[in-house]
Structure 1
Amino acid sequence: MVSTRSNQAQELLQEKGMVRAHELARIGVAGDTLQQLLRSGALVRISRGLYAAPDRALNEHDQLAQLAIKHPHMVFCLLTALQIHGLTTQAPHEVWVAITPNARAPQGSYPPLRIVRFSDPGLQVETISLDGVVRIPVTSVAKTVADCFKFRNKIGLDIALEALRDAWRQKKVTMDELWESAQLCRVANVMRPYLESLA
């Protein structure tokens, strides 16, 4: 019986990379069975309620993947999104996430979170695979650049300009995408002179 549950757990881990305790419980791996799999080494506990395969290779985005699985309502944005998209030389010491205005903010997590409330964080969100398995929600490149201009007083205009230049230089966005995102974020007038200098 345990070997069947172990096989089911391994299949789920192959599919998702990391799984939450309630996902394991759904396939019948809970309580004593879960403890047996942990003792036998078939599963490894990464953090509270989060499990992975023992042979899973760690990578630089592991903490982001853990946060995405633990808090599926969050969207990575601003400096963290710039880092994921490869558009900054900055290494943020906080993870920037967007949640809806009425959503409950996660408490006491590591790494520290910098929470920004967006009226609709699902707007222009793409799902990126970090390690080939775990998928995380992150704002699109164009939306990230527009958000940087919107929050330029918090992150600095120099970072917003660097993000715009790098996104354009690396051909990760088109002028139409940038303009559409600028209008959605209501920073079209702020971004217009910088967009005109690129064209």
Structure 2
Amino acid sequence: MPEPYSQRQIAHALLKARGIARLVELRDAGVTAATVSRMERDGEVLRLARGLYQLSDAPLDANHSLAEAAKRVSKGVVCLVSALAFHGLTDQFPRQVWLAIGRKDWPPKPDNLPIRVVRFTEHLLTEDVETHVVEGVSVRVFSVAKTIADCFRYRNKIGLSVAIEGLQEALRQRKATAGEIARQAERGGVSTVIRPYLEALTANG
């Protein structure tokens, strides 16, 4: 049966190039849902979530869950504890992906991947966003300075100690300057909250 075989070749090429693909992307490339189901049954692909697939032998990045979340919520931006972990600013390993979305955006449907949604205003959602490639997937993550300011804004959700740890590590590892963090804190309306910690941590340096 040459047709299913050629569809499998297309699916393999697409998944190898993109890392993770939606069923609609595979369909657009000419691969039927039936072929994908057979590939899943035969162990060639893994179904990560509803309509989300990856090659079963694909190497998994430490940030795999971020790539999966980015595919599920294309407008989302990795934030707070997940962004701290991505930037290497915390020893915590989040059990859920913290994702910023707009005030009116639809939240993702519950599935295998636990996503914690935080709603941002439009200007705070689009500012200082970096794009990183994880497993072939473009993942949007807030910058270090923006992440620190956001952690202080949402300290009641993640804990003040986590925000302070992130600030300490950002300065210690020189991944952001005190000035950059102060500017983001000003834009996020938390400059008075973060100032005492910034002053204490930079007093001797």
Specify the TM-score bucket, using the shorter chain as the normaliser: 0.7 to 0.9
Q: In the alignment, is residue 124 of structure 1 matched against residue 128 of structure 2?
A: yes
**1:172 aligned residue:** 175
SS of 2:111's equivalent in the other structure is coil
Q: Give the TM-score normalised by the residue count of structure 1.
A: 0.87
Which aligned pairs between 1:28-107 and structure 2 lie closer than 5 A? 28-39=30-41, 41-107=43-109
Report the CA distance between 1:41 and its aligned residue.
4.8
Q: Give the TM-score normalised by the residue count of structure 2.
A: 0.85
Report the CA distance between 1:26 and its aligned residue.
0.8
Report the CA distance between 1:169 and its aligned residue.
0.7
Query: Which deviates further from its counterpart, 92-101 or 104-113?
Result: 104-113
Q: Is the 1:149–1:187 contact (alpha carbons within 8 Å) kept by the matching residues of 2?
A: yes
Report the CA distance between 1:160 and its aligned residue.
1.3
**2:196 aligned residue:** 193
Which aligned pairs between 1:20-35 and structure 2 lie closer than 5 A? 20-35=22-37
* AA matched with 1:158: S
SS of 1:13's equivalent in the other structure is helix
Report the CA distance between 1:175 and its aligned residue.
2.9
* AA matched with 2:153: K
Query: Which deviates further from its counterpart, 158-167 or 47-56?
Result: 47-56
C-alpha change, 1:24 and 1:117, in structure 2 (3 Å) is same
**2:141 aligned residue:** 138
Q: How big is the alpha-carbon RMSD for the aligned residues of Structure 1 and Structure 2? A: 2.1
* AA matched with 2:141: V
Unaligned runs of 5+ in 1: none
Whole-angstrom distance in 1 between the partners of 2:94 and 2:168? 19
C-alpha change, 1:26 and 1:143, in structure 2 (3 Å) is same
Q: For each residue in 1:50-72, what CA deviation from the matched residue of structure 2 results, as whole angstroms up to 9, or x when unmatched? A: 11123212344333322221121
Whole-angstrom distance in 2 between the partners of 1:35 and 1:109? 19
C-alpha change, 1:52 and 1:112, in structure 2 (3 Å) is closer
C-alpha change, 1:58 and 1:187, in structure 2 (3 Å) is same
Q: Is the 2:132–2:140 contact (alpha carbons within 8 Å) kept by the matching residues of 1?
A: yes
Whole-angstrom distance in 1 between the partners of 2:157 and 2:49? 31
Whole-angstrom distance in 1 between the partners of 2:9 and 2:38? 13
Query: Identity percentage over the alignment?
Result: 40
Residue number among 159, 163, 177 corresponding to 1:156 in the alignment: 159
Report the CA distance between 1:38 and its aligned residue.
3.9
Report the CA distance between 1:46 and its aligned residue.
2.9
Report the CA distance between 1:157 and its aligned residue.
2.0
Q: Is the 1:6–1:42 contact (alpha carbons within 8 Å) kept by the matching residues of 2?
A: no
Report the CA distance between 1:39 and its aligned residue.
4.8
Whole-angstrom distance in 1 between the partners of 2:181 and 2:63? 26
Q: Is the 2:49–2:113 contact (alpha carbons within 8 Å) kept by the matching residues of 1?
A: no
